[in-house]
A and B are shown apart, each in its own frame.
Chain A
């Protein structure tokens, strides 16, 4: 348990970057949701690392709530994907352009 926090923080930053890159480049709504999960996990890892660094359980409690919100977000998000797919037969976000000015 003696590794410096910088290792974990760097890993979390890289994971967040990969998730953000995927979110910006992939066009399938399902893959974009998975990328959001990657980014949430990177933030969770940062929370736990600082929780250890500051000897404060509050960081782990925050991760607990992030997990709850992530579960709710995925549930509603996939419900939206399912209802969009019913109308359009596609999950590509490029085809959802009605609001384009």
Chain B
């Protein structure tokens, strides 16, 4: 019934992307080894990238794969290896009593209410096309570029400062200061 009302390639693409996203996410939170968690995270990120392409966000899909699945996951793996914490974490012990059941109940309630809200409400209330149509293919990249460099120019300039601050902060944090080195010696 579903396949008859929508184009079959769209449905297949969505199912593949959803399976990647869900199983990857479950893998991240259930496996014991942090390295395997990071690998599962790549699956989720690729799945989200597929969903981006399916929705005409080609530029963001490319950035998702390059920045997230490339740089950020590699950063995670690098820190895991660097710290040598790739041993297994014991996930069978609950640090707080009934922590998991309370967390599961809260999360299930939240997700259920979001989905219920979604099913009940009417979306198309706001003004459409404030900054233009997303377009598809080549026009998507041109369009998002034009938007970021005009409407969101100040925000874009501030992200440059933010990234500089983050890099300097990471260097300062990770640097072994002389005082700590003397304490350890």
Residues of A within 8 A of B (CB): 1-3, 5-11, 13-22, 24-28, 30-31, 33-35, 37-38, 41, 44-45, 48-61, 63-65, 67-76, 78-83, 85-87, 91, 94
Contacts and interface: CB of A to CB of B under 8 A. Distances in A.
Contacts of B29: 18-19, 21-22, 25-26, 31, 35
Contacts of A73: 166
A59 B52 CA distance: 12
**Quick one: which of B11, B37, B63, B172 has the most chain A CB within 10 A?**
B37
Given A20-B110, A37-B68, A68-B163, A45 B48 contact: yes
Summarize B's interface: helix, strand, loop or mixed: helix
Interface residues of B, number: 93
B107 A20 contact: yes
B173 A83 contact: yes
A87 B51 CA distance: 42
A79 B28 contact: no
A21 B116 CA distance: 19
B6 A78 contact: no
A14 B111 contact: yes
B115 A10 contact: yes
A49 to B, nearest CB: 6
Interface of B: 6-7, 10-11, 14, 17-18, 21-22, 25-26, 28-29, 34, 37-38, 41, 44-45, 48, 51-52, 54-57, 59-60, 63-64, 67-68, 71-72, 75-76, 79-80, 82-83, 85, 89, 91, 94-95, 99-100, 103-104, 106-108, 110-111, 114-115, 118-119, 123-124, 126, 128-136, 140, 143-144, 147-148, 151-152, 155-156, 159, 162-163, 165-167, 169-174, 176, 180
Nearest to A72: B166
Given A21-B104, A41-B48, A68-B163, A58 B83 contact: no
Contacts of A53: 123-124
